[in-house]
Structure 1
């Protein structure tokens, strides 16, 4: 277990460094906004394009791996939506339910990518980017559909769909898939540039995650928060583990899939909650709790899979 913790420790330290930099004011709020945009629009897309372009995307090699995560996220979402039938709106309003749904079905690849890279090197990065290529469009679509149903009349569906279509991560996934399926080689200088750019995404992303962490939000805890954290850290990865055994996934694919579904929710869900009428503060509190729990849950999953 100590060896596993030492694998994760450098990543935790990067998150902590981001928090220290933010709290001491070494970088202003505007600087962090610029770093987040750089990571979201340039660094991560470069990593996605190169990894997908060089990966084996055949149904035989990736089909069950992707299906495992799609099923896990779908079950996590359904379990949360069932609360609408089980509880009256006085106990759980649609704004709160919509944020809980987002919190259990979204994931922050900025966290998963460096973990996989630390564990498996380039193979880990490729495995996670394959997940991103298929999950990012799927997750955005099911979230828009669910939130449109719960919060109807508070936003423009077409405006949100346009935002999804212009998402740099989705565009990068499409480009990577086009290069892969079309067997189009990337020129060596461009490939090296993409590799260097993508490498920078791993550290910058974790620093931004740390900068966005808010300790004060951990003083709030109720059953809604516990539900969203438990689904992420326990239910979804356990489901992936059993599905992976049924599908015969390799240990690396199984662990990467478990990490993906257990990864804390994406920060862009907070913005979507605000824009669409959800409970943005509840979403932010859940995100911070998921980050803390992941520090302990990730090493446990890694230890289990590594025997």
Structure 2
């Protein structure tokens, strides 16, 4: 078993970039007006290119991994359902602001795919990396639609129009289509696409830090506790039950549990900010989720032993 300290080491680069973005925005000439432009670059170019290339180039073998894909979709659906249901929970629901919930619900089910891929390779080698790629390829479109839907509805936007125009959804759906058709990125574009992907995650995390407001740490704490509990406690437990019920192999169960214990994606902040919601609050949740993953990932690893 990997020691908990190794998870902290793996998560540190993301956490560092968030803090760096916060420091640059607050105490250098690179103020908020600069980062607003960077957010648009990340949202409309860097993240879509990264998502498209990573999904289009993944090896999605449905026949060999159908049980794992089913398990991943069941867990994703469970996370979405729990996140959407928060305003209806007894005692908690009446304390939740619906607009804040629309922006932050995505924290409960969207995940940091780069950390997931790095962990999968470390734990399972090439096979682990393949299994994680399959999960990402099938679950990202569902989660992106689920993230946009409550904000489009709460913001008074036309849902279909928002979904069809959302660059993250367009990138993931076109990536899946390209993968299904067997289209491969030309060799000449591999290096530029790889560098854009690296820039996307780095800039996305720094944007989250730049948008973070420490004064919101105690803001909507009931909602914050709800989405973070789903992300870092309930989802690993749901994954454990799903892996047991579907009799997944040890390799597939390991990848499924790690997948459901990952920190929230930095794209959560960019999406919320670009759709006109409280980006500072969502950025704070991304930061807290990154820290909490140092606890949920060892929990997931411990649960694997009981399958």
TM class by shorter chain equals: 0.7 to 0.9
CA distance in 1, matches of 2:230, 2:194: 34
Q: CA deviation at 1:287?
A: 5.2
CA distance in 2, matches of 1:13, 1:145: 31
Paired positions, count: 292
Superposition pairs of residues 19-98 of structure 1, within 5 angstroms: 19-79=22-82, 80-81=84-85, 83-84=87-88, 86=90, 94-95=98-99, 98=102
CA distance in 2, matches of 1:217, 1:206: 18
The answer for the alignment partner of 1:113 in structure 2 is: 113
Q: CA deviation at 1:216?
A: 0.7
Q: CA deviation at 1:92?
A: 5.2
User: Given that residues 225 and 286 in structure 1 are in contact (C-alpha distance below 8 angstroms), is that contact kept between their aligned partners in structure 2?
Assistant: no
The answer for the alignment partner of 2:243 in structure 1 is: 244
The answer for the alignment partner of 1:138 in structure 2 is: 142
Q: Deviations over 1:122-181 (max 9, x none)?
A: 9688766655544444345446666788x5xx7242xx3223212222222233223322
The answer for the alignment partner of 2:207 in structure 1 is: 208
User: Given that residues 46 and 197 in structure 2 are in contact (C-alpha distance below 8 angstroms), is that contact kept between their aligned partners in structure 1?
Assistant: yes
Q: CA deviation at 1:214?
A: 1.4
The answer for the alignment partner of 1:257 in structure 2 is: 259
User: Given that residues 131 and 252 in structure 2 are in contact (C-alpha distance below 8 angstroms), is that contact kept between their aligned partners in structure 1?
Assistant: no
Q: Deviations over 1:248-281 (max 9, x none)?
A: 152563255214575578125635875xxxxx55
The answer for the alignment partner of 1:199 in structure 2 is: 198
The answer for the alignment partner of 1:270 in structure 2 is: 272
The answer for the alignment partner of 1:190 in structure 2 is: 189
User: Given that residues 84 and 92 in structure 1 are in contact (C-alpha distance below 8 angstroms), is that contact kept between their aligned partners in structure 2?
Assistant: no
| Match of residue 284, structure 2, among 285, 288, 291 | 288
User: Given that residues 14 and 207 in structure 1 are in contact (C-alpha distance below 8 angstroms), is that contact kept between their aligned partners in structure 2?
Assistant: yes
The answer for the alignment partner of 2:174 in structure 1 is: 175
User: Which stretches in structure 1 are left out of the alignment for 5+ residues?
Assistant: 275-279
TM-score w.r.t. the length of structure 2 is 0.75
